């Protein structure tokens, strides 16, 4: 923070390790020193949409210079970043092209500006854009135990030796990954019998150590039938539409589900979060676990899966469906023709 010039810091680490959490904490801590700031979430996801990157760059312009811009206006961006000493967070970047658009050249920026970029992949954080790289560290033993106990018991340490031993075992089997600790801890919240905890530890022992997807899958399996269905609907469909809780509940009610209760349960289990603007949010690792469950319903034929979310896959399935309907119609007409001949 004390160095001169413009600095770009890159945070990297696997999904669920705490990059976004750290970026938010960093942003909140130094926000007072910056009059002009912008926090851009989910760069990877937004940039996969048409004009997504340009809309993000326009958000940066309006955040730091209060100027509304439409369309691709690079000179407005250069003006905004050169005139204002800014703090910018770019969360979850996965391609250097995103930095080409959202940073451009470091020389364009006002003296003293700071940018923090997070990514799972160091290849998305090259030296041309990023001055300093930092690998996000896994929590240490006591921090992980504290995080797990907070979610499983709403306290810092378990009461009694038995639960302490079981908690330590869970922390070690989840490889101290914050997202795994949070979800697995929340799954055990309210469970007071030792047997239930021992069963949970046994399930963890069956998976590959520290495999996040498999830990998340255990939590999914612990849901009831309706909660599972709502979880998959959110993972595959609602989350990418950034739908508000009330609207999701409305759609679910139309399908005969008690959405209100299911959403409350999924929230308690930390499988979803509700943003301040009431939209439903799911960590991308949890979303991918849900989508993988649906893909595994039929690996070869997307048309046999319960949900489709990819545009090209949907079009393919519809095209195949049209062909199937035509074949069926032809078969029907042929049988009808045979019947008429017989009569």
Ligand X SMILES: Nc1ncnc2c1ncn2[C@@H]1O[C@H](COP(=O)(O)OP(=O)(O)O)[C@@H](O)[C@H]1O
Q: Is 16 in the site for ligand X (CB under 6 A)?
A: yes
The nearest distance, CB 30 to ligand X, in angstroms, is 17
The nearest distance, CB 335 to ligand X, in angstroms, is 57
Q: Which stretch binds ligand X (CB under 6 A): 16-24, 160-168, 186-194, 206-214?
A: 16-24
Residues near Mg ion (CB under 5 A): 20
Assigned token pair, 189: 């919240």
Q: Which is nearer to ligand X, 84 or 186 (CB)?
A: 186
Q: Which is nearer to ligand X, 21 or 306 (CB)?
A: 21
CB 114 within 8 A of CB 87: yes
Q: Which does 178 bind (CB under 5 to 8 A by kind): Mg ion, ligand X, none?
A: ligand X
Q: Is 21 in the site for ligand X (CB under 6 A)?
A: yes
Q: Which is nearer to ligand X, 179 or 252 (CB)?
A: 179
Q: Which is nearer to Mg ion, 80 or 215 (CB)?
A: 215
Applying CB under 6 A, among 116, 151, 170, 182 the residue interacting with ligand X is 182
Give the span between the Cα atoms of 61 and 108, in whole angstroms.
Answer: 13
- Residue 284 backbone class (left: φ over 0; alpha: ψ -120 to 50; beta: rest): alpha
Considering only CA atoms, which of 39, 217, 201 is closest in space to residue 116?
39
Q: Is 60 helix (H, G, I), strand (E, B) or coil?
A: helix
Q: Which is nearer to ligand X, 20 or 98 (CB)?
A: 20
Task: Output the CA torsion sign for 331, 333, 335, 341.
Answer: negative
Q: Which is nearer to Mg ion, 11 or 86 (CB)?
A: 11
Give the span between the Cα atoms of 42 and 91, in whole angstroms.
Answer: 6
Residue 119 has φ and ψ, to the nearest 5°, of -160, 155
Q: Is 10 in the site for ligand X (CB under 6 A)?
A: no
Q: Among residue numbers 274 through 333, which ones bind ligand X (CB under 6 A)?
A: 283
Q: Which stretch binds ligand X (CB under 6 A): 14-22, 37-45, 193-201, 235-243?
A: 14-22
Assigned token pair, 196: 């239930």
Kindly list the strands in the beta sheet with 114-119, ordered across the sheet, starting from the edge strand earlier in the chain: 36-40, 86-93, 114-119, 7-12, 132-135
Q: Which stretch binds ligand X (CB under 6 A): 161-169, 178-186, 188-196, 313-321?
A: 178-186
Q: Is 210 in the site for ligand X (CB under 6 A)?
A: no
Q: Among residue numbers 46 through 85, which ones bind ligand X (CB under 6 A)?
A: none
CB-CB neighbours of 327 under 10 Å? 10
Residue with tokens 């595994």: 296
The nearest distance, CB 91 to ligand X, in angstroms, is 7
The nearest distance, CB 72 to ligand X, in angstroms, is 29
Considering only CA atoms, which of 108, 113, 111, 95 is closest in space to residue 46?
95
CB 181 within 8 A of CB 260: no
Considering only CA atoms, which of 278, 228, 277, 289 is closest in space to residue 250?
278
The nearest distance, CB 19 to ligand X, in angstroms, is 4
Q: Which residues bind ligand X (CB under 6 A)?
A: 13, 15-21, 147, 178-179, 182, 283
């Amino acid at each position: 923070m004390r160095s001169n010039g413009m600095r770009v810091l890159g945070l990297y680490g696997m999904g669920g390790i705490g990059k976004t959490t750290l970026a938010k904490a960093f942003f909140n801590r130094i926000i007072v020193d910056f009059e002009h700031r912008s926090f851009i979430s989910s760069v990877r996801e937004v940039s996969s949409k048409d004009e997504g990157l340009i809309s993000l760059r326009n958000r940066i312009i309006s955040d730091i210079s209060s100027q509304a811009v439409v369309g691709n206006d690079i000179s407005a961006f250069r003006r905004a970043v050169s005139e204002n000493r800014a703090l910018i967070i770019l969360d979850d970047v996965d391609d250097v092209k995103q930095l080409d658009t959202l940073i451009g050249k470091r020389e364009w920026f006002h003296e003293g500006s700071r940018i923090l970029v997070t990514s799972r992949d160091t290849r998305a954080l090259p030296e041309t854009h990023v001055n300093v790289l930092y690998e996000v560290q896994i929590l240490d033993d006591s921090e992980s135990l504290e995080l797990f106990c907070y979610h499983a018991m709403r306290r810092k340490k378990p009461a009694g030796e038995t639960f302490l031993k079981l908690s330590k075992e869970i922390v070690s089997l989840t490889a101290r990954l914050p997202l795994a600790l949070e979800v697995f801890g929340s799954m055990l919240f309210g469970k007071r019998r030792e047997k239930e905890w021992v069963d949970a530890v046994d399930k963890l022992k069956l998976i590959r150590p520290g495999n996040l997807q498999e830990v998340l899958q255990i939590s999914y399996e612990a849901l009831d039938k309706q909660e599972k269905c709502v979880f998959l609907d959110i993972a595959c469909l609602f989350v990418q539409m950034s739908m508000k809780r009330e609207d999701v509940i409305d759609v679910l009610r139309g399908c005969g589900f008690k959405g209100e209760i299911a959403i409350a349960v999924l929230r308690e289990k930390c499988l979803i979060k509700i943003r301040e603007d009431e939209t439903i949010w799911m960590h991308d690792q949890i979303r991918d676990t849900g989508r993988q469950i649906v893909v595994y319903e039929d690996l070869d034929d997307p048309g046999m899966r319960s949900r489709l979310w990819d545009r090209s896959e949907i079009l393919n399935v519809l095209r195949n469906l049209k062909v199937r309907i035509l074949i069926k119609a032809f078969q029907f007409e042929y049988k009808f023709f045979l019947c008429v001949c017989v009569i």
